[in-house]
Amino acid sequence: HEVPPAIPAVGIEDAPRHAWRGVMLDTARHFYPVDFIKRQIDLMAYYKFDVFHWHLTDDQGWRIQIRQYPKLTGVGAWRTEADGSRYGGFYTQQEIRDVVAYASQRNIMVVPEVEMPGHTSAAIAAYPELSCSGKPIDVPATWGVFRDVDCVGKDSAFRFLENVLDEVAALFPSPYVHIGGDEVPEGVWADCESCQALAKENGLTGEAGLHSYFVRRIQQYLSGKGKTLVGWDEIMEGGMDPGAIVEVWRGPQEAAKALANGNRILIASPFYLDTPIDNMTLEDLYRSDPFANPLYTAHPKLVLGGEAPLWSEHATPLNADARLYPRLFAIAEHFWGSPKDDYSGFLLRARVQEASLAARHVAYGPEDKDIVDARLRFDPTYKRWRVRAARGFDDLRLNYTLDGSQPTVRSPSFGDVLDLYTPATVTMAPFRGDVQYQASQTFKIVPNLALGDPVAFATPPATKYSGGPMQLTDGILGGPDLPDSAWAGWEGVDMDASVDLGKPVTIKSVDTRFLQDSNEWILLPRSVSLEVS
């Protein structure tokens, strides 16, 4: 008869290298549904992470329901995108309780982050009186650092924040509350009479002193509620109480300051998962062990562990999986134990997980390249437009439409190359099986009387924006999603371009496209003039 399978008696001793093994998800820049968050919590538990750092507020969106201040979600949770559409969402208090309980059942602690005093534009859009100026603003739809921050000189601003923290503390049983505290344009306080009066009254030195005053006051309030303050490393500016936990994102030099002050720290900077995959590969993460730094090994009781942050300026529910996995496998190795120098063995173990991820419909990414890099170029010789795609997986296909509608799993597809001979609005999205791997990408090709005609520049464009002259007559409309290299841009000189139509042509109108991104110092021209001959 068949002998039943048996497992030899064995004893296994295992323990984590670090107590704090976290993953941070930014749900403010882009909103993630509860089901997505729960699935990530399932995966975190499976791979031995134990802290879910929930980034709930930022300039571009306020995502947590606060009953005392309904406009935080009525106004602050929504923004108007460049195309005029409304984007946003928020979590009700019941949904938050549900997520916290779900995580607790899987031995994961949820730590909320409510940004203050900077990255607060969404809150100020809802309640302008929080800022120094009190002027109304809109919720930003772009990324960057904004000058609308909480006013340190207004007691009313502190009362508002304390009331918010009361509701936050009641929702999250974690002993920790993260307040952000990073990237504060403190110069705003220098121009504020209330802030300067507070500084004079309390003997504070400069705006760094005001920042320190703010953090200490919030820390004292949280301490009274049994909570420990956590913040990004800027909370040390102007002096920091050693009871706070410092999350280090600007490198070991900031960690050294925190450790010298006796603060416990979390290491985040080496694990930023919004870094493109080809710039921080699976192998890069595995072979680099930041915790081996003598600075950290000399303070084992102060180094609590680390976190892998996923900031969501460019991460959405459609492409976040690929940024998280498989790279979180290498990070998990660092957080749980000291990885051995055996990348080939690790890679075998990581690839075994692919079937499990696929079964959960996780759109995991490549090990060392982006999911897809699709570029559109015009070929003047054959009068055609060619989409050329570099794919992260051989079995990845690009489903597309030619009318601007969203591709589905049943749309026509191509692999590396798609040729087009007439203008169209090409929208493409990557699929593996029936799972879409990231948001769609659209190219607009329009009729152009100057199609393929030569263009001469009086002055070459700047190196960073070195799109060639052909880009002006290739029929491809510019847009914010195009890379810098697709644009022609000038620094310090005006654009001067000549188009040779080759023969007399009747022109009824001229359409031009310029890009403005003031955060990157890319500005529209003051005027445009045209001459014909």
For 366-418, the pLDDT digits (tens) are 999 999 999 999 998 899 999 999 999 999 999 999 999 999 999 999 999 99
481-510 pLDDT, tens digit each: 666 667 888 998 999 999 999 999 998 888
Q: Is 58 a catalytic residue?
A: yes
Which pLDDT does position 1 carry in this prediction? Answer: 61
218-275 pLDDT, tens digit each: 999 999 999 999 999 999 999 999 999 999 999 999 999 999 999 999 999 999 999 9
Which pLDDT does position 484 carry in this prediction? Answer: 61
Residues shown for the chain: 533
With bands split at pLDDT 50, 70 and 90, how would you rate the model's confidence at 45? very high
Higher confidence at residue 2 or residue 529? Answer: 529
Which pLDDT does position 468 carry in this prediction? Answer: 67
Which pLDDT does position 146 carry in this prediction? Answer: 96
Domain with CATH 3.20.20.80 in the chain: 20-359
Domain with CATH 2.60.40 in the chain: 371-445
Q: Name the nearest CA neighbour of 182 among 37, 317, 57.
A: 57
Which amino acid appears at position 420 of this protein?
Answer: L
Which pLDDT does position 409 carry in this prediction? Answer: 97
Please tell me the pTM assigned to this model. Answer: 0.92
Higher confidence at residue 514 or residue 212? Answer: 212
Residue 322 has φ and ψ, to the nearest 5°, of -70, -25
Angle between helices 206-224 and 155-171 (to 10 degrees): 40
Which pLDDT does position 327 carry in this prediction? Answer: 98
Is residue 465's pLDDT more than 90? Answer: no
With bands split at pLDDT 50, 70 and 90, how would you rate the model's confidence at 100? very high
Catalytic residue among 18, 30, 55, 58: 58
Catalytic residue among 18, 30, 119, 211: 119
Q: Is 18 a catalytic residue?
A: no
Catalytic residue among 42, 162, 183, 283: 183
Distance CA 505, CA 502 (A): 9
- The C-alpha angle 325, 331, 335, rounded to 5 degrees, equals 140
The highest-level CATH class for domain 20-359 is: alpha beta
Q: Is 119 a catalytic residue?
A: yes
Average pLDDT, the chain: 95
What mean pLDDT is predicted for residues 10-15? 89
Which pLDDT does position 374 carry in this prediction? Answer: 94
State the architecture of 371-445 in CATH terms.
Answer: Sandwich (2.60)
